[in-house]
Structure 1
Amino acid sequence: MDGLSDALDALAAEDLAPLFGPALLERLRPLLLAQNRLAAEVARTVRECDVSGAVEHDGLKTMGPRLRGHAHLSGAEAARVVRAGRALVHLPVMAAAFAAGEVTGEQAAVLGRIAEPGRLALAADQGVGVAAVDGLLTGLARTRPYADTVRAVRHYSDRLDADGPEPDPTEGRRLSIVRDADGSVSFRGDLDAVGGEEFSTAIEAIVQAGRTAAAAAAERTRTQQQADALVQLCDTALAAGALPVLRGHEPQVVVTVGIGDLTDPATGAARHSWPPAR
């Protein structure tokens, strides 16, 4: 590691001003190759940290949080490094090309998706030879741009799981609540078809129940009536007492009383208790 640091110091000390055109491009080529090789060593070391449990030294379970906290990587970049490291054992052709600097860290992470447990299981069920896929896709990554690697891996994944994962309709649910300075609240949101139907039905039920107060209803617009219904819905849920309780534990006080004071009729200690009876 000292030799690596010395080499980097020597590179940083070089004066680039006299260089131009082809000379600069020629200098860049081995630097990019070295960058890929360093990325491969980082991924390999990260994987070994995961496998050996070294990360538990920091009280963590995986290397992702450490890369974010100590290496200052973004969540996405940390995930890419971890994925590339985990794929090395399953994709030996990719691992060799990565170590040689022939593919980038980004490409290695994309190729690593074919070695994720779910895809490996699908490949095994369908008799797909992952070794052949490893060779084919790594060969493409060596000679083609990053975007082509992404498309190739996506095409493989789509063919492997033609139906795709079962869509989760609740993924699109969103609710944003903003409290203004005067204490009023603004919100907006999106619901899936089922959630939207339940919400609309509950609101409309309360709106219709309130129609008996015809005079009051006549003074309220449709949007106001729906807002009233939403507040009433919350009132009803809170009054029912079935919602989870926040900060529901009563204060606890521990008092140490000597046995002499406790049994002495003059103190009356035995007559007191906490919390007080209701």
Structure 2
Amino acid sequence: MRIEHPFDTLLPITTEIWQLSEAELLADAAAVSHDIQLLEARRIALVADIDTRVSREKLGFPGPAGWLTSTTLLTPSKATKIVALARGLKNFPDIADAVNTGVMSVDHAALILTFAETPPKNLPQEGRDIARTAMITAATGPGARTDKIREAITKLEDTYGSDKPPPEDTDRNELFASKMLNQRLCLKADFDAVTAEKLFTALSPLTEPRPAADGTPDERSPARRRADAFGQILDHYLATKDRPTEGGERPHINLHIRLQDLHSLSGQNSDDITDDETTRAAAESDNADPADPVDIDAGNPIHSDPIRSDPTESDAANELETDSAAGPSQDRGAYRDLFGDGTTVGWLPWMGPLSRNTSRQLACDCVLTAIVMDENGNPLNLARTARTVTAKQKRALTARDHGCAFPGCGKPAAWTEGHHISMPLS
């Protein structure tokens, strides 16, 4: 595989940028951009050989993507894209040659490679070769434009694609969910007409502007209202009982946080809080007599002789776990190494760190399990699970409020959560 060598056209690196003339600035910026393209091509070629020649034992990972992520500054998604290009370009040397000589960008190569690997169903082989050659030509040089390449691909797919009309072709459906560097999530979707109709139908009644109780107009943008509505749909789905299971349990948010951090917003640990308090709350909930009245504000059954466990002292860290669903494991060990054991944030298996304020909000109405941990983070004892808003309390809230009590909201009771005026953990 021939790859042009970079750095042949660069000015000496010792030259300070402020010393360059206008012509040198322009020339050097263009040369650097060209060399970056060549370096990207070389990295792809190296990864291709790593993928086939380096053993898994030597690599220390199941594949090159994990190794790239752990040894470079590349994100997992970027590393995965590089590995996919490295594997795909082996089957299409014409695309690889355009990348290796620096006349076509890696992004355009990925676009054409996707078309080449999954061409329209009814496009004959000779037509595929002609189309690929035409796209490579269109993607060559500084004048190449992504929209032109996409337009050509769309026309070919419309002409030679599935027998179904494009709006009804479910084979085209895609949903991308990319975790951002700022711990947010970016969604990108391409749905068929029927799936899109379902989405709009579900969103429509939830995206209407909701004026405040005093008549103040809803200041949320349409995009914000759609995002809020999508969150409500997820809440409603996760609250239903007939959803599929994962890992033997119905899926739900799984939050881990130290008891001290959840209890104290000032960041100071409370030494008088032990696992026995949470265990006692669980025991009271588990052993509540159905005839016992319930404290609607605190959520605890009212006993004439409350059940209590003998308190014991423990130096172990306490971790609260809302009833969990399996998710991809994050490297929390590295996180602890960076911030130490006294972290003051929660932890979500999918998204990572979560502020204590939001953690407390989630803990207000959750299924709570207390776990006693040693100084190395190993679990020593698992307490019984209890709800912070019991079923009896939820029924009482529904009877009193008939739905959301927030002014101007109007959500039905099934779409609401209980929230404590004073957190039971405080």
Distance 1:92 1:36, change over 3 A: same
Q: Does 1:83 align with 2:74?
A: no
Aligned mates of 1:185, 1:96 — CA distance in 2 = 58
Q: Provide the residue aligned with 1:132 in structure 2.
A: 130
Judging changes above 3 Å, is the alpha-carbon distance between structure 1 residues 64 and 226 closer, same or farther for their aligned structure 2 residues?
Answer: same
The CA deviation at 1:179 is 4.8
Which residue number in structure 2 is paired with residue 184 of structure 1?
A: 364
Deviation string, structure 1 residues 54-74 (Cα, Å, up to 9, x no partner): 455233232222222212212
Matched position secondary structure for 2:135: helix
* Residue identity opposite 1:59 in structure 2: G
In the alignment, what sits opposite 1:41? 42
Give the deviation of 1:137 after TM superposition.
0.9
> In 2, Cα distance between the equivalents of 1:158 and 1:62?
36
Contact 1:110 1:153 survives alignment (8 Å): no
The alpha-carbon distance between structure 1 residues 28 and 62, as it changes in their structure 2 partners (threshold 3 A), is same
Q: Which residue of 2 aligns with 1:99?
A: 100
Given candidates 174, 178, 187, the residue that maps to 2:234 is: 174
**Structure 2 counterparts to residues 199-210 of structure 1, below 5 A:** none
Partner secondary structure for residue 101 of structure 1:
coil
* Matched position secondary structure for 1:180: helix
Would the alpha carbon gap of residues 158 and 64 (structure 1) be closer, same or farther in structure 2, given more than 3 Å must change?
farther
Unaligned 5+ residue runs, structure 1? 187-209, 211-215, 232-278
Q: Percent identity?
A: 16
**Distance of 1:112 and 1:92 partners within structure 2:** 11
Say if 1:218 and 1:137 are closer, same or farther in 2 by CA, change over 3 A: closer
Instruction: Evaluate the alpha carbon distance shift between residue 68 and residue 146 of structure 1 in structure 2; reply closer, same or farther with a 3 A threshold.
Output: farther
Can you list the C-alpha shifts for 1:4-62, whole angstroms capped at 9, x where unaligned?
Answer: 89979984212332322222212222322222122111111212222335455233232
State yes or no: 1:223 paired with 2:224. Answer: no
Aligned counterparts of 2:103 and 2:403: Cα–Cα separation in 1: 62
Aligned residue-pair number: 197
Equivalences for residues 6-85 of structure 1 within 5 A: 11-85=12-86
Contact 1:67–1:78, Cα closer than 8 Å, also in 2: yes
Q: Which is helix-richer, 1 or 2?
A: 1
Question: Does the C-alpha gap of structure 1 residues 49 and 9 become closer, same or farther in structure 2, counting only changes over 3 Å?
Answer: same
Distance in 1 (CA, whole Å) between partners of 2:417 and 2:19 is: 72
Q: Residue 101 and residue 111 in structure 1: after superposition, are their counterparts in 2 closer, same or farther (change >3 A)? A: same
> Once structures 1 and 2 are overlaid, which stretch shifts more, 67-76 or 147-156?
147-156
SS in 2 for 1:13: coil
Q: Is the 8 A contact 1:98 1:104 kept in 2?
A: yes
Q: Counterpart of 1:220 in 2: which secondary structure?
A: helix
1:152-180 CA distances to partner (integer Å, 9 max, x unpaired)?
Answer: 44554565354242759699873485652
The Cα RMSD (Å) is 4.2
CA displacement at 1:227 relative to structure 2:
4.8
The answer on 1:149 being equivalent to 2:186 is no
1:213 corresponds to: none
Instruction: Give, as a single letter, the amino acid of the residue that structure 1 aligns with 2:43.
Output: V
Q: CA deviation at 1:141?
A: 0.8
Closer, same or farther in 2 for the Cα pair 1:136/1:108, shift >3 Å? same
Cα distance, 1:174–1:59 mapped onto 2, change above 3 Å:
farther
Of residues 174-183 and 95-104 in structure 1, the stretch that sits farther from structure 2 once superposed is 174-183
Structure with higher Rg: it is 1
Question: Does the CA-based 8 Å contact 1:33-1:101 persist in structure 2?
Answer: yes
TM-score, L = length of structure 2 = 0.38
Inter-CA distance 56–218: structure 2 relative to 1 (3 Å threshold):
closer
Q: In 1, Cα distance between the equivalents of 2:363 and 2:38?
A: 56
Structure 2 contact 85–110 (Cα < 8 Å) conserved? yes
1:100, CA displacement in angstroms?
Answer: 0.9
Q: Is 1:165 equivalent to 2:165 in the alignment?
A: no
Q: How far apart are the structure 2 equivalents of 1:57 and 1:98?
A: 29
Contact (CA 8 Å) 1:37, 1:100: kept in 2 or not? Answer: yes
